[in-house]
Structure 1
Amino acid sequence: MSRKGPKNQVFENVSIIDIAEEGKGVGKADDFVLFVEKAIPGDVVDVMVYRAKKNFGEARIVDLKKASEHRVKPFCEHFGTCGGCKWQHMTYDAQLQFKQKSVSDALSRLAKIEVGDMLPIIASPADRYYRNKLEFTFSNKRWLYDGENREDETLNMNALGFHIPGRFDKILDVHHCYLQAEPSNDIRNKIDEFAKQNGYTYYDLRSHEGNLRNLIIRTSSTGELMVIVVFAYADEEAVNKLMNFVEAEFPEITSLLYILNEKKNDTIFDQDVVAWKGPEYIHEEMLGIQFRIGPKSFYQTNSIQALRLYEITRDFAGFKGDELVYDLYTGAGTIANFVAGNVKEVVGVEYVPSAIEDAKINSAINNITNTKFYAGDMKDVLSAEFVVEHGKPHVIITDPPRAGMHPDVVARLMEIEAEKIVYVSCNAATQARDLLVLKEKYDTVKIQPVDMFPHTQHVENVVLLKLRPLPASPKEKS
């Protein structure tokens, strides 16, 4: 085996023994840890280090000496260039195995929790075409494939697709994406073809020139379809021409919208939406409960697994019907409205005001009257006064972003001492960090991983915590 060295050092016959949090294979060369792109446990590889630190390096495979039994041929032509679906070269059974292990390792190592009774991960029924939302970017800086000469003046450099990892200004021109069902690919490809044929300018992410910026496609389990085209500036003729084309080509679109975004960033939450055809929303449905989804709404991107996730959350809570529930990081109130029929009252809190408005609408369209929603920074809203005003909850459901809960929020949960906490997380590491604090008063009763995102390293995890009874006083013991 080659000795350790700096960047560009080659290590031979490295055995891949694990998968890291970011999805890279883990190997060792003596005491030097290697995080290897596209490597799978069981592989034996020669690698070259492209980024080195004192005790570890990031590397790429230069020769696959022995293939893991888990290795399969990737199904997508864009694998390895596109930043998504990084695990599609691994069997789905193996993906589930390593996701289960990642949750187990995070909770046992970081939170010091016994995970022997952790429930088996719930697989996604579909491992392709499972997403209900995709966002594509128009760019005049197309990523060139091997063999393409950037000096060739006849090359069309416009692209409609996904960002290249680590290159914010380079876009992969996607031909077929396996994440979202048709007509998603057909819509994207035909809009791209029409725009190129009609001389539309694609956005330059550095100079901020060009008119076409983004394309967002949302589908739903109810069969409804939303398409949003984002332009960089108002060109009435260009807007009308493209929108007329989309409407005529795809009459099945339920909600056809466009946005004029003159800012230098792609966020649309502060932008006005223009309805070209149909309403500014589509609907999702779970067990008879409807959710109105607007262009800015948050909704779990795997609809089938979202239902399973919420069922687990409800079942872990074990509602009897008379509970007061706090739903923290409620988003558009999906969990709050989903469990409202099983409890006395749900109080939801969320940072984004527009999401809270969606939550209220979702209650109204389902005639749900036992929910209340509040917008604001969680650490500020969830105060002692808030609890006094609304009552001490029997159950707290918390579904924070990947960063987990703010330390002040965790401290408040320790003060509130709800009988149960159901903690839903998309990041087992930050969940474990929070559980390490909560374990001072709470026992971990159930752990259930759920695979929402096949062919990626991401995994959702639901944990049920129960408040530990106070030790009996000497008088009570006697």
Structure 2
Amino acid sequence: MSKAKKIPAEALRNIEIQDMVAEGKCIVRHDNLVIFVTQVAPGDVVDLRITKSKKSFLEAVPTHFHKYSELRVTPFCQHFGVCGGCKWQHLGYETQLQYKQQQVTDTLQRIGKVALPEIQPILGSPSQTYYRNKLEFTFSFMGWLTEDQIKDESQQYDRRVLGFHTPARFDKIIDIEHCWLQPDPSNQIRLAIRDYARENMLRFGNIIKQTGLLRNLIIRTANTGDLMVILQCYRQHQAIEPLLDYLHERFPQITSLNYVLNDKGNETFHDLEVVCYRGEPYIHEEMEGLRFRVGPKSFYQTNSEGAYNLYKVARDFAQLTGQELVYDLYTGAGTIANFVARQARHVIGVEYVEQAVADARINSEINGVTNTEFFAGDMKDVLSAEFIEQHGRPDVVITDPPRAGMHEDVVRRLLDMRAPRIVYVSCNPATQARDLELLDEAYKVTRMQPVDMFPHTHHVENVVALELR
């Protein structure tokens, strides 16, 4: 792709940031070009430096602020701007919600090109801090120093760190002293592990060469008080068990203590054995009287309070009377399926991951839900004409796909199936809009409801109700 014409440096001074757009970036229009800018807010007046040049747009970062936007607030986290998360802390929460709602509307109109109903005001997250029930931290033997740390010649910093990635860099990890995303004892556990490893000379991982011992740490905190810790190590070593024993003694509230040996090229461990060292190999979350078992490999919405809002919207859009056959696609551990089962005649969940289907069946069993069935397999293969003939044509389809949205073949299956009503739950309005354009052949959008699950980020969930034309 050819590059955009070069803009003189003097033309990039005293630029007022105009608006917020997709993925949390801001926008400036200059001489028929679009410039996407990070680390700013609408109303800021800045000097810019171009970081990427394409034919139809540029990307830039601010080098100097002449004026700060009235939309700005003081970030509450000491790591803001250096850590790769919570990039909207400089905006007030009501402003964040406004831009998320705008993002959903603009994206569906621009990409989906379908007739949309009036969008309902976005539902905010019940909590704006300590709202996550799961966090992943990475060990690094050579942590990334901030500019202030580099300039501070009076102090030597221990580069062995346990923290988060810097923006857009998988190989640069910054040490985290306090994270505002997950409730205690998450911070205490992370710091205790880091300090123990430093004091006992355990080898922090090398992300590039994938060497060392300590690789990754996952902490899951449940609303029942259950607490899971998963330690990933590159290889077996005699130091692992003493570290786990130390954690067990120091934090007796840990109800599930696990470790994984992972020497693969990535940190996913769905295909690896998880060793439960102490406690039970799972924790429990609760929602509206239902109890959900969450294992080390289980998916569960990371904002428990926000998930309750999300599922209530999906159930409301489904308009269940107790007589409906419901298909729950991408059912995961059966959370939505079990959540709506009491209002439906029968619910059939379909999920690609076999372990998740096993979890879904357990979740039905422990809650005494008897009107659910779950099937594992590729969605486009499972939803065959024979499957529908055997199990029945659904009255309602609830679909909650991953960020990539639904495969085009799955959309075609839905068009062939002709369920009277579809409820589409999405964590990515862009792919949802693409799928809605395909479904427009037979369905019209009747209701829309954005739901915020991730305060201080640009991410937003959106629920859409569709009815057969």
1:30 — aligned with what? Answer: 31
The higher relative CO (CA closer than 8 Å, separation ≥ 6) is in 2
Cα drift, residue 194 of structure 1: 0.8
Q: Provide closer, same or farther for how the CA distance between residues 4 and 73 of structure 1 changes in structure 2, counting only shifts above 3 A.
A: farther
- Measured in 2, the distance between the counterparts of 1:190 and 1:178 equals 17
Give the residue type in structure 1 aligned to 2:207: L
210, 233, 237: which one pairs with 1:235?
A: 237
1:177 — aligned with what? Answer: 179
C-alpha contact 2:210 2:263 (8 A) present in aligned 1: no
1:415 matched to 2:416: yes
C-alpha contact 2:213 2:233 (8 A) present in aligned 1: yes
Q: C-alpha offsets along residues 394-422 of structure 1, whole Å, 9 cap, x if unaligned?
A: 00000011111111111111111101000
- Measured in 2, the distance between the counterparts of 1:296 and 1:116 equals 38
Cα drift, residue 330 of structure 1: 0.5
Q: Provide closer, same or farther for how the CA distance between residues 391 and 116 of structure 1 changes in structure 2, counting only shifts above 3 A.
A: closer
| Alpha-carbon RMSD | 1.8
Structure 2 spans left out of the alignment, 5+ residues: none
Q: Provide closer, same or farther for how the CA distance between residues 147 and 254 of structure 1 changes in structure 2, counting only shifts above 3 A.
A: same
Is the partner of 1:243 in helix, strand or coil?
helix
- Measured in 2, the distance between the counterparts of 1:145 and 1:397 equals 45
Cα drift, residue 192 of structure 1: 0.4
C-alpha contact 1:226 1:282 (8 A) present in aligned 2: yes
- Measured in 2, the distance between the counterparts of 1:156 and 1:67 equals 35
188, 191, 206: which one pairs with 1:189?
A: 191
- Measured in 2, the distance between the counterparts of 1:215 and 1:281 equals 16
Is the partner of 1:86 in helix, strand or coil?
coil
**Which stretch shows the higher mean deviation, 295-304 or 199-208?**
199-208
1:314 — aligned with what? Answer: 315
Is the partner of 2:135 in helix, strand or coil?
strand
Cα drift, residue 13 of structure 1: 2.5
C-alpha contact 2:116 2:446 (8 A) present in aligned 1: no
- Measured in 1, the distance between the counterparts of 2:357 and 2:113 equals 36
- Measured in 1, the distance between the counterparts of 2:283 and 2:9 equals 51
Counterparts of residues 307-386 of structure 1 (less than 5 Å): 307-386=308-387
- Measured in 2, the distance between the counterparts of 1:10 and 1:409 equals 49
Give the residue type in structure 2 aligned to 1:22: E
C-alpha contact 2:256 2:283 (8 A) present in aligned 1: yes
Q: C-alpha offsets along residues 2-52 of structure 1, whole Å, 9 cap, x if unaligned?
A: x96269786123222222211111111121211111121222222111111
C-alpha contact 2:85 2:167 (8 A) present in aligned 1: no
1:442 matched to 2:439: no
- Measured in 1, the distance between the counterparts of 2:66 and 2:247 equals 49
1:219 matched to 2:221: yes
1:473 — aligned with what? Answer: none
- Measured in 2, the distance between the counterparts of 1:354 and 1:146 equals 45
C-alpha contact 1:161 1:171 (8 A) present in aligned 2: yes
> TM-score, with normalisation over the residues of structure 2?
0.95
Percentage identity across paired residues of the two chains: 55
1:97 — aligned with what? Answer: 98
Is the partner of 1:167 in helix, strand or coil?
coil
2:12 — aligned with what? Answer: 11
Q: C-alpha offsets along residues 363-401 of structure 1, whole Å, 9 cap, x if unaligned?
A: 111111111111111111111121111110000000011
Q: C-alpha offsets along residues 158-208 of structure 1, whole Å, 9 cap, x if unaligned?
A: 110112233222211111111101110111011101110110001111222
Cα drift, residue 322 of structure 1: 1.1
> TM-score, with normalisation over the residues of structure 1?
0.94
Q: Provide closer, same or farther for how the CA distance between residues 111 and 265 of structure 1 changes in structure 2, counting only shifts above 3 A.
A: closer
Q: C-alpha offsets along residues 72-105 of structure 1, whole Å, 9 cap, x if unaligned?
A: 1211111111111011101111100000001111
C-alpha contact 1:132 1:303 (8 A) present in aligned 2: yes
**Which stretch shows the higher mean deviation, 317-326 or 160-169?**
160-169
Give the count of matched residue pairs.
464
Is the partner of 2:17 in helix, strand or coil?
strand
Q: C-alpha offsets along residues 315-364 of structure 1, whole Å, 9 cap, x if unaligned?
A: 11110111111000111110001111111111111111111111111111
1:127 matched to 2:128: yes
